[in-house]
Amino acid sequence: MGKKILIVEDESTIADIIAFNLGREGFETQTAYDGGEGLRMALEDAPDLILLDVMLPVKDGFEVCKQVRAQSDVPIIMLTAREEESDKVTGLELGADDYVTKPFSMRELIARVRANMRRTAPAQPAAAGDLRVLTGALSMSEDKSEIYKNGKPLDLSVREFDILTFLASMPDKVFSREELMEKVWGYEYYGDLRAVDVAIRRLREKLEDNPAQPQYIVTKRGMGYYLASQP
């Protein structure tokens, strides 16, 4: 069965085009035309990914994002208007995984959907023996694509997981924001570099004992970020 995508978009022509193109790629789609309906469907129908417009009747996309994120780690891609530069960061701050700027090409949208689609089942305890230590109290299960701290699964988005495993592939090596965007988001992604900082901050909130004094993901001033081999 195809992965299920919830489209929350009040402009029915846009919603229809998206649904048609995703359907052709083998995804199942559902559409909500306002934020209230979108929130209800996001929580009740358990989609595999949500495409969420910002300007919506009843509840705006930010409010929906915040409320969904309080209960679910389903990947969320915001559909933002090009002129609203601040919308991108606001969405990321509220827990969206990514954004696509309108007008977007279907090719771009589908690539972004695939990149953000959750590859794993919900977090569950790892079987002993399946774990590989990344650094300090962090370990990873290759089978489940999960990362654990002291044996407890961390509730990471796909993007956060990708950043952490990328940094862990070369501990103590400093990567600039540009490098992280290229390696983790993909070179075709012409995103805002602040997306890297927001993602790192969210990641720290999830894995650091004290996010204000990070021991795992360390900032090298003026250079970038690295994962400490000895946190």
Binding region for Ca ion (CB under 5 A) out of 52-60, 110-118, 130-138, 183-191: 52-60
* Residue closer to Ca ion, measured from CB, 17 or 55: 55
For residue 13, the minimal CB distance to Ca ion (Å) is 11
For residue 57, the minimal CB distance to Ca ion (Å) is 8
Q: In three state form, how does the secondary structure of the chain look?
A: CCCEEEEECCCHHHHHHHHHHHHHCCCEEEEECCHHHHHHHHHHCCCCEEEEECCCCCCCHHHHHHHHHCCCCCCEEEEEECCCHHHHHHHHHCCCCEEEEECCCHHHHHHHHHHHCCCCCCCCCCCCCCEEEEECCEEEECCCCEEEECCEECCCCHHHHHHHHHHHHCCCCCECHHHHHHHHHCCCCCCCCHHHHHHHHHHHHHHCCCCCCCCCEEEECCCEEEECCCC
Binding region for Ca ion (CB under 5 A) out of 49-57, 65-73, 97-105, 205-213: 49-57
Query: Of 8, 52, 53, 91, which lies in the binding site for Ca ion, with binding defined by CB under 5 A?
Result: 53
Query: Of 55, 58, 81, 110, which lies in the binding site for Ca ion, with binding defined by CB under 5 A?
Result: 55
For residue 53, the minimal CB distance to Ca ion (Å) is 4
Q: If binding means CB under 5 A, how many residues of this protein chain bind Ca ion?
A: 3
Residue nearest to Ca ion (CB): 55
For residue 98, the minimal CB distance to Ca ion (Å) is 18
What phi and psi, each to the nearest 5 degrees, are found at residue 225? -125, 150
* Residue closer to Ca ion, measured from CB, 16 or 208: 16
The binding track of 1-30 with respect to Ca ion, each residue x by CB under 5 A or -, is ---------x--------------------
Verify binding: residue 37, Ca ion, rule CB under 5 A: no
Residue 143 CB coordination number (10 Å): 11
* Residue closer to Ca ion, measured from CB, 9 or 160: 9
* Residue closer to Ca ion, measured from CB, 10 or 160: 10
List residues binding Ca ion (CB under 5 A): 10, 53, 55
